[in-house]
Structure 1
């Protein structure tokens, strides 16, 4: 197996870069008009697909005509390799509409692996074969379908879409456990070079993929049938690996050991690593400036305290008054800055003869206007300076000048 990294299997960005992005921007007005028109046509195409019999040639002709108006074209090669006895089709998974493209040239049944309402499952063309009840139930129902119906079963053994450029995900074993001939089908997607929008991206929603299908001028699905393959003297797991290697070789990519579960885990890691960066950057910037502003207010009251000590306490309290209280009461240890004592007033009452400074310097009421609030702050500032000076002199046993 190849050592292709899992991030190489998926497109991270849907839009092109450079000149490709510029041409896409110029095309956007036309694309929006096409999108609106195609939404109405697509609704009628969906009704046609649901009403007409699935195996009807008339249904195929009508749907291919309507899909061409939607910008969805299908080109098939090596159709002579189509084996009517092979009623299990396995295809690589490149986009949300892969099953529709294949259904336009070869009506089939796609087992649903999602727990969808019956009406929605019918509209999307899925068939409930009990995948949610477990692998054994799915295989039993699929075998029963192969015995009783002429419509082949379509399976995407990768279990998740890739960009089709580097490799194939590891195949699930269940389609190769039906004891039926397997018809490998290769699907490749091409879009015009001037609107090089990726059919699917990591973490993208299916309905967004459909939106871009209707937006671009056209999308061509190249479908190629390989010769049918049967299980020989080998295990089902070995048979699965053989088919994966065959399809990868014909596509010009590498078979990998990465699974659809690995894709989900990779997507989770990617989202976790990206979202905090996007969210934190503006918060960190605004938080830092706010801390600096509060630090300046504290230093105006307590100029002998180092700025880093003030910021460290503000980071926890987020409150100027509370940080000042911590510093005054000695709850925060620090080394006073030199020259800060001399900044105190030269004449002041003796600490031994004066009453303890009043700690309650919070304004009795909030000022109604800016001048009142500024006056309140100045009064508190003076009281705090005096309180800090007296506490500092008392704590260090400095004699009054």
Structure 2
């Protein structure tokens, strides 16, 4: 699983964040405009233009603003009101124990090759209720070594483990987490991890390591799961631009579409400085359903650039969800968060 996070300088979609093609827009004024009292272009005006691309929904509309969904109705909010005290207690317990109880239990289940049983029991207690709507469409690793998916919650990548299983997954993680990775390896953790370099002069090593893995015997039954937008959205308006990195590897890709249902009138994901509030409200819910839909495997066409390949799969994903296919990137979201604060 290649789980992307907001602000990554080299995310799963891009070997370099600077490679992302961002549409540059400038304000131009005619001679007649010069005679009007039009203020000079300011940084705020520039940001506003960059957050509102022509023909696309406003960037702000792609993210949740409030934790509780509106409007309030008896039908949708009565259960929430009744559940609230239980959710606070249960959510707090889950939040505090997931790392110190849930993860060690997962290691123990893996030692006995019973990871599937972990997800059916402990995993569901921690709200990971995942399934594929059309499992017959899922391609094996030999036919699609890379899986891409839209990004709705911080836990989208982990939520696919009940389906893929860690022994069939490969993940790219930062070099700073290497000590943790080494510890996991000593505990017989079956997840294959490729270290991502953060030094600009060494970033090419990540691509080389990944290609080396894909060409090895070990890759035959493992798939790389990529949250291609690099940042979460509300999943209701549009998709962020898919980064080009994995689309430049010349490997077949299977697009997945995820729909998340918290079964509560709350928004699990709200842009914030850290993920802990979102994690808590995720645990607050009695259960959360992740429904994945598999789309046909895609290969890069002759003379198709990585950017065009990424855009084509982004459009396929957007069409399945009935959302707009935008040119905003995760960088736009990071900038918007700073402006909103």
Normalising to structure 1: TM-score of the pair?
0.61
Unaligned ranges ≥5, structure 1:
272-401
Distance 1:131 1:161 in 2: 23
**Contact 2:131-2:163 at 8 Å conserved across structures:** no
Q: Is the partner of 1:186 in helix, strand or coil?
A: strand
**Contact 2:150-2:258 at 8 Å conserved across structures:** yes
Q: Is the partner of 1:129 in helix, strand or coil?
A: strand
Deviations 1:144-182 (A, max 9, x none): 222233311111121111111111101110011111110
Report matched runs for 1:284-363 at 5 Å. none
Deviation at 1:113, TM superposition (A): 5.2
Give the alignment partner of residue 256 of structure 2, picking from 161, 185, 189: 185
Give the alignment partner of residue 211 of structure 1, picking from 266, 277, 280: 280
**Contact 2:109-2:118 at 8 Å conserved across structures:** no
Distance 1:122 1:2 in 2: 49
Change (3 A) 1:61 1:71: same
Moved more, 86-95 or 30-39: 30-39
Q: Is the partner of 2:207 in helix, strand or coil?
A: helix
Deviation at 1:63, TM superposition (A): 2.2
2:104 corresponds to which residue?
Answer: 47
Distance 1:247 1:189 in 2: 15
**Contact 1:93-1:160 at 8 Å conserved across structures:** yes
Give the alignment partner of residue 13 of structure 1, picking from 66, 69, 81: 66
**Contact 1:168-1:253 at 8 Å conserved across structures:** yes
Q: Is the partner of 1:185 in helix, strand or coil?
A: strand
Deviation at 1:114, TM superposition (A): 7.9
Give the alignment's Cα RMSD to 1 decimal: 2.7
Unaligned ranges ≥5, structure 2:
1-53
Report matched runs for 1:186-265 at 5 Å. 186-192=257-263, 195-203=264-272, 205-233=274-302, 234-265=304-335
Q: Hey, which of these two has a bigger chunk of helix by percent?
A: 1
2:241 corresponds to which residue?
Answer: 170
Deviation at 1:23, TM superposition (A): 5.0
Aligned length: 268
Deviations 1:107-158 (A, max 9, x none): 3223225844632897797944324245533222221222233311111121
- Rg larger in structure: 1
Deviation at 1:52, TM superposition (A): 4.8
1:152 corresponds to which residue?
Answer: 223
Distance 1:207 1:66 in 2: 20
2:170 corresponds to which residue?
Answer: 109
Distance 2:60 2:234 in 1: 10
